A and B are shown apart, each in its own frame.
Chain A
Amino acid sequence: MELLRIEAISKNFGGVAAVADFSLSQDDAEISAIIGPNGAGKTTTFNLISGVQEVDKGQLHFAGTNITRFPSHKIQALGVSRTFQNIRLFDGLSVIDNVKIAYTSQLGYRVFDELLSTPRVRREEKLIEERAREQLSFLGLEAHAEQKPKNLAYGLRRRLELARALMSAPKLLLLDEPAAGLNPAEIRELMKTIEHIHRERKLSVIVVEHHMELVMNICSRIHVMDFGRKIAEGTPQEITRNEKVLQAYLGDMGEVC
């Protein structure tokens, strides 16, 4: 069933079209990828889906709701979760509290409960703690729960972002270059993790990634962007044989030959 539908969205930054007439359809329980050269508009597309930036033109639909003008916290509450290309963790919070933040939209208690620290707060805090620990152990971070994210190794920080994104039990997970800065062993680990998440949590995943091995191995559908436009879409096999894609990545070979 269709989970996310993007209808011809555009975004301009002072005359430069970062994203132009981009469309995409994503089913639930599908892993797909958006690839393209640097500056093709992949991250901007993620920012538009998650509401971090506002769409200039076009529409976004998620699970039957028009989310085009939604602020990002509302989109997250509907079930879209994301990670960032340049890791954005909360350094003032411990590892487990970083994860707990993503629970905000589901929070049952109010400020007045908190002021008085009512039993309701204590009950729910216990539940939040349990769920946060679950995410941490799911990604093998339970030993670092009380540490500050700054003290974690780079690979673990990436995993923490993933744990935080999973805390809200999202329907759609957006991963922005999850393999950036990881070594080959860590990338293989990451591929396993993504497939594991996908299988266990039954959620839909879109990755923006440069690492072709990862994309080709785990994604069932690939969207290729160049200069803000979609130039190709298909299965990994189709994409590797696509003329336009080769041209975008390697330049116009005709001129050289």
Chain B
Amino acid sequence: MIFYAKVLETTLLFTMFVLSVYMLSGLTGLFSLGHGAFITLGAYTAGLATTRFGLPIWLAMVLAVVVGMIGGLIIGAPTLKLRRDYFLLVTFGFGEMVRALLLWTAQLTGGAMGLAGIPYAAELPLIGVSTLVVVVFVANLKKTAFGRTCIAIRDDELAAQAMGVNVYAHKIKVFLLSAAIASYGGALLAFNMSFIEPNLFNWLESAKLIVIIFVGGINSVTGALITGIFYYSFGELFRFAHVWRDVLLGVLVILVIVFRTQGLFGNWEFSPAWIKSVLGRKRSGKQGA
């Protein structure tokens, strides 16, 4: 039982990371290979705040989000005006920089030895509720002007700007929100694992988050959610087939790119309206029969 709870905790945390990248890469079309850096930043801020400075847990979490957003602003403000490929390179560099910084400041962070003894404070209920809140937030944003604007920017920046969208300001908003979610998740991760190290989340892990979103479908939050849950629980539940997880993902990516460019879930969203329409169809079907 404890094992399954643990699997669920890890899966939910990683799903939260998937959602933070969903807004950035899926909706807005910005690729960050350094997204793990925000998770690491959040985790280390939370870990250091509690172990080295003795701050209360809640304050450590707030601090983690603030530090993540400041990091996002430092990286985002100069690079989000540039072309998307440059943004990708800079975020990649940022990720490696954060890793190097943590290794270099070993006296404070423990360097390559990692940081141990972080209080175990994030259990399933907190993680579950947090993930749910993030899901609701992201789904809400996608439905309204925020999400529409993201997609418009992804499709045609110039036209979006000419239609009254402040493209740069919107990209900053998206990036900061995404960084905030990632660093909050990172803080939860630290409080869940009690031990963190600089290689917690390297660029390959960041890239996987993007791949998962594309497999699920960039226009579907539901797709990102389900694919994320499946991928991360698969690795934990079928430990013996652990190596095969990435092989499976690789094959899936190729299949999706060739046969279903819109992703597994396309534009489909799980929503009350969808449930109603399915129930409605069944009822009318019965009457007909």
| Docked complex: A81-108 residues within 8 A CB-CB of B | 81-82, 84, 88-93, 97, 100-105, 107
B146 within 8 A of A: yes
Q: Which A residues lie within 8 Å of B145 (CB)?
A: 100, 103-104, 107, 109, 114, 128
A93/B151 in contact, CB under 8 A:
yes
Is B158 in contact with A52, judged by CB distance below 8 angstroms?
yes
Q: Does B59 contact A (CB under 8 A)?
A: no
In the assembled complex, the Cα of A103 lies from the Cα of B155 at a distance in Å of 17
A52-B162 in contact (CB<8A): yes
Nearest-CB distance from B176 to chain A (Å)? Answer: 10
Whether A116 sits at the interface, judged by CB under 8 Å, is yes
List, in ascending order, chain B residues with CB within 8 A of A101's CB: 148-149, 152, 160, 163-165
- Determine whether the beta carbon of A115 is less than 8 Å from that of B137: yes
* Contact (Cβ within 8 A) A76 B164: yes
**Most A C-beta atoms less than 10 A away, residue of B140, B141, B148, B149:** B148
B51 interface residue (CB < 8 Å to A): no
Indicate if the CB atoms of A104 and B163 lie closer than 8 Å: yes
Q: B277 interface residue, CB < 8 Å from A?
A: no
For B149, the closest partner residue in chain A by CB is: A104
Which residue of chain A lies nearest to B140 when distances are taken between CB atoms in the complex? A117
Q: Known A88-B159, A92-B155; judge A73-B148 contact (CB<8 A).
A: no
Known A-B contacts A92-B154, A117-B140; the reply to A72 vs B162 at CB < 8 A is yes
| Contact, CB under 8 Å: A77 / B159 | no
Contact of A73 among B144, B161, B173 (CB under 8 A): B161
DSSP majority for the B interface? Answer: helix
Q: How many residues of chain B have a CB within 8 Å of chain A?
A: 27
Q: Could you tell me if B151 and A77 are in contact, using CB atoms closer than 8 angstroms?
A: no
Set of chain B residues within 8 Å of A250, measured between Cβ atoms: none
Query: Would A164 and B163 count as touching, CB distance under 8 A?
Result: yes
State whether the Cβ of A121 lies closer than 8 Å to any Cβ in chain B.
yes
Which residues of chain B from 226 to 240 have a CB within 8 Å of any chain A CB? none
Contacts of B151 in A (CB 8 A): 90, 92-93, 97
Does B167 make an interface contact (CB < 8 A)?
yes
**Chain A residues in 8 Å Cβ range of B148:** 93, 97, 100-101
Q: How many residues of A contact B (CB 8 A)?
A: 36
**How far apart are the CA atoms of A223 and B273 in the complex, in Å?**
53
The answer to whether B165 touches A88 (Cβ under 8 A) is no
Interchain CA distance A73-B160 in the complex, whole Å: 8
Do residues B165 and A73 form an inter-chain contact, with CB atoms below 8 A?
yes
Q: A104-B145, A107-B145, A111-B173 are in contact. Are A50 and B162 (CB under 8 A)?
A: yes
**Residues of chain A with a CB closer than 8 A to B192's CB:** none
Tell me, rounded to whole Å, the shortest Cβ–Cβ distance linking B100 to chain A: 33
B-chain residues with CB within 8 Å of residue A168 when the two chains form the complex: 163-164
Give the chain B neighbours of A104 by CB distance below 8 A.
Answer: 145, 149, 163-165
Most chain A CB within 10 A, of B163, B165, B219, is at B163
Q: Is B166 an interface residue (CB 8 A)?
A: yes
Q: Chain B nearest CB: distance from A186 CB in Å? A: 22
Instruction: State whether the Cβ of B85 lies closer than 8 Å to any Cβ in chain A.
Output: no
Contacts of B149 in A (CB 8 A): 101, 104
Contacts A111-B146, A115-B137 given; indicate if A91 touches B162 (C-beta within 8 A): no
Complex contact A89–B159 (CB within 8 A): yes
Q: Closest A-chain residue to B168, C-beta based? A: A71
Which of B144, B155, B161, B162 has the most A CB atoms < 10 Å from its CB? Answer: B162
Known: A114-B146, A116-B140. A90 touches B155 (CB 8 A): yes
In the complex, besides A89-B156, A107-B145, 17 extra interface pairs with C-beta distance below 8 angstroms are A72-B161, A73-B164, A77-B164, A81-B163, A84-B159, A90-B151, A90-B160, A92-B152, A92-B154, A92-B219, A100-B145, A101-B148, A101-B149, A111-B141, A114-B140, A117-B144, A164-B163
Query: Interface on B for A, CB 8 Å cutoff?
Result: 137, 140-141, 143-146, 148-149, 151-152, 154-156, 158-167, 173, 177, 219
Interface residues of A (CB under 8 A from B): 50-52, 71-73, 76-77, 81-82, 84, 88-93, 97, 100-105, 107, 109, 111, 114-117, 121, 125, 128, 164, 168
A-B contact pairs, 10 of them (CB 8 A): A52-B158, A71-B166, A73-B161, A76-B163, A84-B159, A90-B156, A93-B151, A115-B137, A117-B143, A128-B145
